[in-house]
Amino acid sequence: MTETAELAGNTAIVTGGSRGIGLAIASALAEGGARVAVLGRNGARAEEAAATLAGEGHMGLSCDVADPEAARSAVAAIEEAFGGVGILVNNAGITRDNILLRLKDEDWDEVIDTNLKGTFNMTRAVTRGMMKRRDGVILNVSSVVGLMGNAGQSNYAASKSGLFGLTKSVARELASRGIRCNAIAPGYIATDMTAELDEKQTEALQERIPLGRLGAPEDVAGLVRFLAGPSAGYITGQIITVDGGMVM
Ligand code: NAP
Question: Could you read off the pLDDT of 66-83 as tens digits, one per residue?
Answer: 999 999 999 999 999 999
Proportion of the chain above pLDDT 70, given as a percent: 98
Average pLDDT on 183-206 reads 92
SS3 of 173, please? Answer: helix
Using alpha carbons only, how large is the chain's radius of gyration in Å?
A: 17
Distance CA 38, CA 95 (A): 21
pLDDT digits (tens, 9 = 90+) for 142-156: 999 999 999 999 999
Q: Is 156 marked active-site?
A: yes
What secondary structure letter does DSSP report for 162?
Answer: H
Distance CA 76, CA 153 (A): 34
Closest-CA residue, ligand 1 atom 7, reads 16
What secondary structure letter does DSSP report for 64?
Answer: -
Distance CA 120, CA 170 (A): 10
Ligand 1 site-directed mutation target among 13, 25, 94, most atoms within 8 Å of CB: 94
Nearest C-alpha neighbor of 143 from the set 194, 79, 180: 194
The CA 132 to ligand 1 mean position distance, Å, reads 30
Check pLDDT > 90 for residue 140.
Answer: yes
The residue annotated as part of the active site, out of 17, 75, 142, 156, is 156
pLDDT digits (tens, 9 = 90+) for 1-33: 555 699 999 999 999 999 999 999 999 999 999
The CA 66 to ligand 1 mean position distance, Å, reads 13
The CA 176 to ligand 1 mean position distance, Å, reads 31
Ligand 1 site-directed mutation target among 13, 19, 112, 188, most atoms within 8 Å of CB: 19
With cut-offs at 50, 70 and 90, classify the pLDDT of residue 221.
Answer: very high
Q: What is the pLDDT of residue 196?
A: 84
Spacing of C-alpha 213 from chain mean position: 22
